[in-house]
Chain A
Amino acid sequence: MPDPTDLTLMQAVQALRAGELSCRQLVEAYLGRIQRLDAGLEPSLHCFLSLAPESARFQADAADRRLAAWRKDPQADLPPLLGVPLAVKDVLCVAGMPCTCGSRILQDFVPPYHATAVQNLLDAGAILLGKTNTDEFAMGSSTENSAYGVTHNPWDVERVPGGSSGGSAAAVAARLAPAALGTDTGGSVRQPASFCGVTGIKPTYGRVSRYGLVAYGSSLDVVGVLARDAADAAVVFRLIAGRDPLDATSADLPVPSIDTGGQAGGDQPLAGLRIGIPEEYFVSGLQQEVAERVRSAIAALEALGAQPRPVSLPHTQFALPVYYLVAPAEASANLARYDGIRYGMRHEAANLGEVYRRTRGAGFGAEVKRRIMLGTYALSAGYYDAYYGQAQKVRALIRSDFESVFEQVDVIAAPVAPTTAFKIGEHRDDPLSMYLEDVFTLPANLAGVPGLAFPVGFDSQGLPVGMQLMGPHFREDLLFWVAHQYQQITDWHTRQPRLE
């Protein structure tokens, strides 16, 4: 039998139904691979912060029994992902499994309920392998801010996987899970997808429920998906998208079906599609090899019938300062709940104020403290208008840039990050240089539009290069469809790192 971890998510679903493979075999194949590559001797990738092998095996056996019953009665209802193992970023609540958010302050926290996105996947029959590493409270671009150690990039273990959903991206790249949930507040799905050579969707703001997602920047946070290709990502996305009564910010809009059933429309499937190429994303900080791969991918889309044309998003350069004022301001309020009283660690002291200060001083890492400080300052008396108020106004201009461009084109194509994966420690002690890694992913979050990252080649060091497509609000279907057409004529998404 071929290695079951070589199957894509959709191939695994078909193999399970056809009886070519049992759920137990599939789960054991992933657990075995995790044991060898992630939890074994050094150097291990360290994608997972916690694993749930017993419950995964138990659920796999239950799924096998259900499949056996279904084969006798094929009219019976079968959940779409029955028996498929998945991984979940450790900022989403799964009842009974630890949820650390990569932070000491939540070291022993075990949530008593499921996030809605998790519940949707469990209802669809998925099996959870474990929780993946993240920068503390999703604040970072490398997983170096995790209190539990960095995740290594499967393509070069001396490099970061990107972040903050670096554990999920590296797990998918290393075939430790066929797909995984991540979250994206400023690029945290797309940038690690790009660094690890996988496909990642940051949905429209409000598209996916955030009930049970530990909050970071509430006007920006979205739950997304990392998978091996656009077709698999689309399947998981459709399961988690939609209105949730438990999240008032979730949009009550239909989720369109996504046609990823092969190459339709002859050799010009993208005929008539207008693709905007924003000049502000091809600037001096962009690595030349990244620019070249992105330009060849655009040429490939053109060969499929698409019409690239230059567009301008003039306020792009301000996305970085806007984001690093708005997100920390929201974080400073959201993280006020970690006070050592109701959950999480407590540092004992004589009075309540000292409990707060010491618990938070000991429980939070440097980057979280830095952002709480930045956000508190931006919201403080005398500075609010100059910082937070001005940032909100410029955010409106960034959003209107996108609205004007989407009157001229259907989608925007751009690099995901200015560089390929950087070395562990490269940006240590210089937070601003780390923030600059997010310069191309922040605008989509500030505007609330969807973004999809997918692999378009490798640099001369063998590191994956990603491209992102951005689309109008709630048009994820368009992004999936374009990326899928690209993946029909290329094989970058099928390449895998040599690990064994």
Chain B
Amino acid sequence: MTLTQAQVEHIAALARLELTPEEKASFHQQLSAILDYFAQLQEVDTSDISPEMGEIPAGSSLRLDEPRPGLPLEDLLSNAPQVEDDQFRVPPVFE
């Protein structure tokens, strides 16, 4: 097993994911198998390669930073689970 149960719980905490005990057990087994398979990547000699070389060159011309009308506030808030006074309502951050 590449991963320990504690690591699975640590990763879930980092990712803000609540997992059921069944999910923890199956992910522990499945992710370990996947990572074992991925170990073959370590065989590849990449000593002459920098990670940036793996990036795909994309369009680079940025549009002008000109003010333009955005979407109406009403539309932007229309999908929010809770809204109050034109703002997103959230539970307390600090208690």
Q: Which residues of A contact B (CB under 8 A)?
A: 108-113, 205-206, 219, 243, 245-252, 315, 317-318, 321-322, 324-326, 332, 336, 339-346, 348-353, 355-358, 360-362, 364, 366, 369-370, 372-374, 376-377, 380, 386-387, 389-397, 399, 431-432, 435, 447-448
Q: Main SS of chain B's interface residues? A: loop
B27 touches A351 (CB 8 A): no
**What are 12 A-B pairs at a CB distance below 8 A?**
A112-B78, A249-B58, A251-B58, A324-B34, A351-B91, A357-B17, A366-B23, A366-B26, A376-B11, A390-B44, A393-B54, A394-B44
Residues of A within 8 A of B3 (CB): 377
B86 CB, min distance to chain A CBs, angstroms: 13
How distant is the Cα of A118 from the Cα of B52 in the complex, in angstroms?
Answer: 32
Cβ of B56 under 8 Å from chain A: yes
A112 touches B75 (CB 8 A): yes
Using A219-B55, A219-B56, A390-B46 as known contacts, say yes or no to A360 and B18 having CB atoms under 8 A apart: yes
B46 touches A393 (CB 8 A): yes
Residue from A108, A369, A393 in contact with B19 in the complex, judged by beta carbons closer than 8 Å: A369
| 0 or 1 for each of B54-95: is its CB under 8 Å from A? (1 = yes) | 111011111100000001000110111110000010111101
Using A351-B92, A432-B37 as known contacts, say yes or no to A205 and B56 having CB atoms under 8 A apart: yes
Interface size, chain B (Cβ < 8 Å): 55
Closest 6 CB pairs of A and B: A361-B18, A392-B54, A343-B79, A395-B54, A346-B81, A112-B75
Residue from A366, A374, A386 in contact with B42 in the complex, judged by beta carbons closer than 8 Å: A386
A221 CB, min distance to chain B CBs, angstroms: 11
Q: Which residues of B contact A (CB under 8 A)?
A: 3, 7-8, 11-12, 14-20, 23, 26-27, 30-31, 33-35, 37-38, 40-42, 44, 46, 49-56, 58-63, 71, 75-76, 78-82, 88, 90-93, 95
Using A249-B58, A344-B79 as known contacts, say yes or no to A397 and B19 having CB atoms under 8 A apart: no
Residues of B within 8 A of A351 (CB): 91-93, 95
